[in-house]
Amino acid sequence: MEQGTATVLENRLAAPGVYRLRIEAPALAGAAGPGQFLMLRIGQTLDPLLRRPFSIHAVHGSRTVDILYRVVGKGTNILTTLRSGEGLDIVGPLGCGFSWREESPSLLVAGGMGIAPLFFLAQIIAKNGVGDKTSALIGARNKTELLCVEELKAMGLQVQVTTEDGSAGKRGLVTGLLTNRVAALRPVIYSCGPYPMLHAVASLAMQYGLSCQVSLESFMACGLGACLGCVAEMKNGDLVRVCKEGPVFDAYEVAWK
């Protein structure tokens, strides 16, 4: 974990309302694992005040890191104005990411922006030469919001898509595709997306007795484990820090509601 200045290389629209920010950050690129995140200082003023957490979306070579973000509010709106060459204050890599197990087939399940951290995991899997033994299910509201599909295919992954409006792939939720997959493959599931989707993925995984890791989202003030603001409830009743003990949790440990 370090605090440092990264340089913006590119900040480009990847889909309607979604940007890919490419930064030069050697310390981060060298140390980051899939599922980890960074805290990014947005602007120089006191409003917005807090840093914003972003998943590490991709690492290229030893110096370059991508962040994929959707414009949702004041902070991300300011982020879109960043231009190549500008400096960015970042802290990272932070948190506990996915622990990938090569011996089992992997199934990546992403809903919407959930692809953000899973893409980095796919990169690691492809680098280990088992991209073609790995499946990814990508869900979005409509065709234009489907992200990274072609890149994942190019990495050798077997990709299936669903859209809620049926404009691409199968109509419906990503969990609709999941049932067939889990019964046949008995994979380890790695998932990120909206909470109801993660809940459904976790329920199915538990029904089949499959290992399942989920990346949770939470408001974070510090990202360092100090403020205790981002907690999630576990089945044993503990409120644990998403930033420190997570953001990736064993689906069996989360108190789903």
CB-CB contact of 210 with 189 (8 Å): yes
Question: Of 81, 85, 184, 219, which lies in the binding site for another protein, with binding defined by CB under 8 A?
Answer: 219
Question: Of 3, 80, 128, 142, which lies in the binding site for another protein, with binding defined by CB under 8 A?
Answer: 3
Q: Which residues of 118-140 are buried (b: 16+ CB within 10 A; e: fewer)?
A: bbbbbbbbbeeebbebbbbbbbb
Q: CA dist 50 to 33, 39, 241, Å?
A: 24, 9, 17
What are the start-end ranges of the H helices in 107-173? 115-127, 149-154
CB-CB contact of 229 with 241 (8 Å): no
Q: Six-digit token pair at 150? A: 């072609």
Q: How far is the CB of 239 from another protein (least distance, A)?
A: 6
The region of 12-20, 43-51, 147-155, 174-182 touching another protein under the rule CB under 8 A is 43-51
User: Does 237 contact another protein by CB under 8 A?
Assistant: yes
Q: How far is the CB of 14 from another protein (least distance, A)?
A: 26
The region of 111-119, 126-134, 190-198, 224-232 touching another protein under the rule CB under 8 A is 224-232
- What whole-number distance in Å separates Cα of residue 38 and Cα of residue 170? 34
- What whole-number distance in Å separates Cα of residue 168 and Cα of residue 163? 6
Q: How far is the CB of 94 from another protein (least distance, A)?
A: 10
The region of 112-120, 177-185, 206-214, 234-242 touching another protein under the rule CB under 8 A is 234-242
Nearest C-alpha neighbor of 190 from the set 254, 53, 97, 58 = 97
**DSSP code for 257:** -
Considering the complex, state which of residue 138 and residue 242 has its C-beta at the smaller distance from another protein.
Answer: 242
Question: Of 102, 165, 238, 250, which lies in the binding site for another protein, with binding defined by CB under 8 A?
Answer: 238
Q: How far is the CB of 226 from another protein (least distance, A)?
A: 4
User: Does 206 contact another protein by CB under 8 A?
Assistant: no
Question: Of 82, 152, 197, 222, which lies in the binding site for another protein, with binding defined by CB under 8 A?
Answer: 222
Residue 49's SS3 state is coil
Which of positions 80-119 make contact with another protein (CB under 8 A)?
A: 89, 91
User: Does 49 contact another protein by CB under 8 A?
Assistant: yes
Question: Of 8, 9, 27, 50, which lies in the binding site for another protein, with binding defined by CB under 8 A?
Answer: 50
Most distant CA atoms of the chain, gap in Å: 53
Phi-psi region of 193 (alpha: psi -120 to 50; beta: other; left: phi over 0): left
Considering the complex, state which of residue 183 and residue 239 has its C-beta at the smaller distance from another protein.
Answer: 239
Question: Of 48, 172, 176, 194, which lies in the binding site for another protein, with binding defined by CB under 8 A?
Answer: 48
Contact positions vs another protein (CB under 8 A): 1-3, 41, 46-51, 89, 91, 218-233, 237-239
